[in-house]
Every structure is written in structure tokens, then in C-alpha cells.
Amino acid sequence: MESVVAAPAADAHNAVVKEAACLNCGHAMAEGLYCPHCGQQRPHRLSVTHVLHEMMHIFTHADKSIFAYIGQVLLQPGQVVADYLAGRRKRYFNPFQFLLLAVGAATLLTTLGHYYEATGHGLQQQMQSRLTAEQLVRVESYFHFLGKYQNLWWLLLLLPIYSLIAWGVYSRRRVNYAEAFVLLVVVGAAFHIVWVAVLLGLVLFMGQFSGTSNMAALLQVVVMFSYLALIGRRALGLSTAGSLWRAAVIVLLGAACGAGLNYVAFRLYVFGG
């Protein structure tokens, strides 16, 4: 390693390539461009060209790009889940990273379009005669907070709840909780892809949202039911009837849990002082 540190900048590339051990995991390097243990490419000095290539690689690589994964999730969700559960995972963009990106994009767009503030404003108008001025301000504050942290609400609360329900519903198919979680990650990605597309259209053509809207909730129910039914049929080998009733149970129980938690939080914040 001393030779690498002491080497002049112009010779850094050659010095690193001669390393006998992988600098990532420490295992012996065989002939070839990649470590046989961890798969890291032989290290070389970073350049602007290399960094740009790596950034473009994320978006354009044929079998693992973000764009390819979007198409796979939307058009072949059953195949994605079946492959991932069977261990054929290298061919896909990381589903957990993608869900983080998709939820983040949806949260950004709802914030820019003031989606939840518009919903809160509509509710304020409906409840104006029954609430004090302080409580009306709390309603506005609650929906502002909900919109700002919608990503955390979905990822840390709704996703684990839906996964727990799916685990119970699919238990006879020998699906464990981790596998049910992955299944819901794919379904959640499909919903957020559609939701982002809808939000983009509304923000571009309307600028912002107005009035109380249940669009997100209704869209979530429709998309999640459809994709759960597809995945149950194609990835878990269920009959059409079996996949449909299981999808309905998961979506209805999950939506009820989410609505219940939202209602309790709203009541405690607005009326709890």
C-alpha cells in the first residue's frame, strides 16, 4: 500500500492495479478486471470521465438501469418478485433504493403542488363552524406536517403494516415476512410510479391542487389491488380467484389501518391540546 500512497499522481493508476489483494474486501486478486470474491472492479484513479460514466450507468445500463426497472415493475411485476424471491437479483436495479427514490419524488411533488395543504384547507372549510380558531390553525399545521413527511409515513409505517398483513394472508404459500416485505416494496414502487406520473401532470397543467382530494388514497387502493393480484397469480402461483381475494384483503386491511392511524393522530393533534 505504501507504493500507492507515495506514487506520483500520473502513476497512481498503474500502482493500484498491481495490488495483490482487493482493496475492498482484502481477498487475493485473480487475473481479470474484477475481484472474484466481492465483484469490485480493479481500482484505478478517479477521473471526471469515470465519474460521469458511473452516473450515466445508473440510468442507461441495459439490464439494471432505473428506466429498465420502471418498465419491469409496471409491466412484469410478477416476474420481478418471482426472480427476486428465487435469488435471481443481480439483473435488477435495487428495489429498495428505487422505492426510496420514488417515494421521495412523490413527496417532493406533493410539496411543490401543495397537495396536502389543499386537502387540509378543504377540511378546514367543512369544519369551520365546529372548531375554534386555534384548532383550525392546528388542522392546517397537521396537513402541512403530513405532506412534508409523507415519505416517512409511507416507508416507516404503512409499508411494514401492509407487509405484516401480506405475510399473514400468504402464509400458506410459505411466504415469510421478509419475502412479503419485498413483495410490497415492488407493489409500492408501482403505486409511486403511477402517482408521480399523475402528480407531474397535475403540477404542470394546474400549478397546484385545490379543494379536498382523496385522489392519492383511491389511486393507492386501485394500483395496489391490481398489482397484488398480478403478483399473486404470476409469482406465487395462486388461482385467479385466490389472488383476487387475497389482494382485496391486504389492500382493505392496510387502508383501514392507515386511515385509522391517521384519524387517531389527527384527533390527538387537533383536539388533544
Residues 231 and 143 in one domain: yes
Q: How confident is the model at residue 21 (pLDDT cuts 50, 70, 90)?
A: confident
Lowest mean pLDDT among 43-57, 87-101, 164-178: 43-57
Instruction: Summarize pLDDT for 216-247 with one digit per residue, the tens.
Output: 889 999 999 999 999 999 999 999 999 999 99
Instruction: Summarize pLDDT for 78-112 with one digit per residue, the tens.
Output: 999 999 999 998 888 899 999 999 999 999 988 88
Q: Which three cell numbers stand for residue 199?
A: 402528480
Closest residue by Cα to residue 196 from 227, 263, 150, 259: 150
pLDDT of the residue at 9: 45
Residues 9 and 76 in one domain: no
Domain range for 84: 62-271
Residues 147 and 22 in one domain: no
Contact status, residue 123 vs residue 107, Cβ threshold 8 Å: no
Residue 11 is assigned to a structural domain of this protein:
yes
Rounded distance, CA 155 to CA 265, Å?
Answer: 17
Residue 109 is assigned to a structural domain of this protein:
yes
How many CA atoms, within 13 angstroms, populate the side-chain half-sphere of residue 125?
8
Q: How many CB atoms lie within 10 A of CB 272?
A: 10
How many CA atoms, within 13 angstroms, populate the side-chain half-sphere of residue 235?
28
Q: What is the pTM of this model?
A: 0.78
Rounded distance, CA 222 to CA 216, Å?
Answer: 10
Residues 161 and 36 in one domain: no
Residues 76 and 153 in one domain: yes
Q: Which three cell numbers stand for residue 95?
A: 428495489
Residue 55 is assigned to a structural domain of this protein:
no
The rounded mean pLDDT for the chain is 83
Instruction: Summarize pLDDT for 139-160 with one digit per residue, the tens.
Output: 989 998 888 898 899 999 999 9
